[in-house]
Structure 1
Amino acid sequence: MAKISAKHEFIARRRVARKLSLMAAYQWQLNGDDFYDIYTYYQQDDAMAADLRKADVSYFKALVDYVVEYEDELLEVFNGYLDLALTQIGPIERCVLLLGTTELKNHPEVDYKTSVNEWVNLAKKFGPEQSFRFINGVLDKVAHQLRADEIDKK
């Protein structure tokens, strides 16, 4: 078996953290569960605990904690880029936009193209058919707002 480089392992752990953060945010949005309770469940459930061991847990917590704490502020960032009312967006798309906006806002160490791509891929996997196009368009506009300096340099 080939040895995975530290960089590839880091990327893989972040990818799992994003997936788990989407699942946790979705659970929080639908059920109103406390993030601490969701995290405790993830630790106790065998399948979730296995995923948690593969994740960058601090990154996972940082993403979800920020969404829970600053949901209204995040909604304001991307609401102007929506071509429909916020109430018409499904819960998966809403969570992807909240988390993607959080990553673009708070994690400049992640290239904006990488960030948008990761969240688009999660929308493809978990969202309704074709929702990834909507996610891509909105997060690209958010990236241009939040990462203008980075984009201008390219």
Structure 2
Amino acid sequence: MEKQPQGGIRRVTTTQDKAGLAIVEHDDECELLDVTPEHATFAVVWSSDKSPADNADPRDGAKQPVWSGQLHNPEGSVLRFVDFPPHCKSPMHKTQSLDYGIVMWGEIELHLDGGEKRTLKQSEVIVQRGTNHLWANTTDKWTRVAFVLLGAK
């Protein structure tokens, strides 16, 4: 099996100082969490627990728990990168969220519980609207997808 791509996910966040001037708050690498037996990894870049978000909130959004251990925050947002190893498949799942998935590299298959499948390649986007689905990397190469999850009705 191909090795996981080198290099993590650098994030740069900004805030304002006491004078109201923009400054860099964080310039670091996100922690990659091994989340499956196949070694798929999650990296939460930022999350918020409400919308609109409070830009004056001093908490580090990457360190805040995602609601009840789920993949999304019902009243907020999550930005997460997922690295899928070759021949890895997620379980069928559904979140009560609006998800934007952007394939950064590689390719990934979307499987819907109604039987449809679509393959997405680098720079292609899926808009996932609270439906039951799974992700399958059927290739011999790693795939990285950036997901933005927004709480939805």
Q: TM-score, normalised by structure 2?
A: 0.24
TM-score (normalised: structure 1):
0.24
Compare CA radii of gyration and give the structure with the larger one: 2
